[in-house]
Amino acid sequence: MTRWLLSPALRPAWLLVVLLVLWDLAVRVLRIPPYLVPTPWSVARELVAEGPMLLRETLPTLYATLGGFALSALFGVPIAMWIASSRLVESFVYPLLVFSQSIPKVAIAPLFVVWFGFGIVPKVIAAFLLGFFPVVVATVQGFKSVEADVIDLARSMGASPWKVFIKFRLPTALPSIFSGLKVSVTLAVVGAVVGEFVGSNSGIGYVLQKATGSFDLPLMFAALVLLSLVGVLLFLAIEGVERWLMPWHASK
């Protein structure tokens, strides 16, 4: 029984319980007023009371997150392959990508509202911009990790470029690609919320804005808990796909 309770799958849950207890103790011992930090139990009550509304508002955020993440993977992986295949391309493109990451997304998000309106498109673009760079960096690193001697040996044995890619380059790069995708999907959640902060009448970002304006801290914390849960579930989904595609890597 004790061994089951201390299994690796339950360890994060135990850590979460400890953090909740410490949170509650800190609020009570330090006598922090509820308008600054609510107790975990008030947040739990708010989750139950406003659960249907929060779940409904989660859907627009989820759609924007998935759209931005899909674009990050769709454009990030091919661009990374292009960069990794040529030092000349890398010298031109890579610095521009790094420069683009130094621009605060919150600062340019209002432009997307001006250009594309208040629909889902600005949120998808914000999610894409935050999720794109980790995919590119990790994928470039993955394709560069392929040993040149292995490629030369395969070519000397008559392997075509397509076979070299399928048999050697892609399997070697897949772990790095999935590492980038797992980072990207969590950042896409942040990007979607940033887009909702700028201009939206729905989504978790909109709920957070309303809760901040009315100083409703339990609702704000409840929305943050749900947002974190979305990020964790998406991360686990990508990890599940990784284990399915690469069982040999997951077993290490």
Determine whether domain 46-250 maps to CATH 1.10.150.130.
Answer: no
So where are the chain's domains? Answer: 1-32, 46-250
Report the 10 Å Cβ neighbour count for 130: 25
pLDDT by residue (tens digit) across 163-192? Answer: 767 777 777 778 888 888 998 999 888 888
Is the model's pTM score more than 0.85? Answer: no
Rounded-to-integer distance, Cα 57 and Cα 112, Å = 21
CB 50 within 8 Å of CB 222: yes
Q: Hey, what are 155's tokens?
A: 């070519």
Residue pair 174/111 in contact by the 8 Å Cβ criterion? no
Distance separating alpha carbons of residues 143 and 113, to the nearest angstrom: 36
pLDDT band at 66 (very low <50, low <70, confident <90, very high): very high
Rounded mean pLDDT, 100-113: 69
pLDDT bucket at 249, cuts 50 / 70 / 90: low
What's the pLDDT at 70? 93
Q: Is a pLDDT exceeding 70 seen at residue 95?
A: yes
Exposure on the CB side of residue 234, measured as CA atoms within 13 A:
26
Determine the average pLDDT of the residues in 44-67.
86
Average pLDDT along the chain: 79
Distance CA 46, CA 95 (A): 46
Residue 161 has pLDDT above 90, yes or no: no
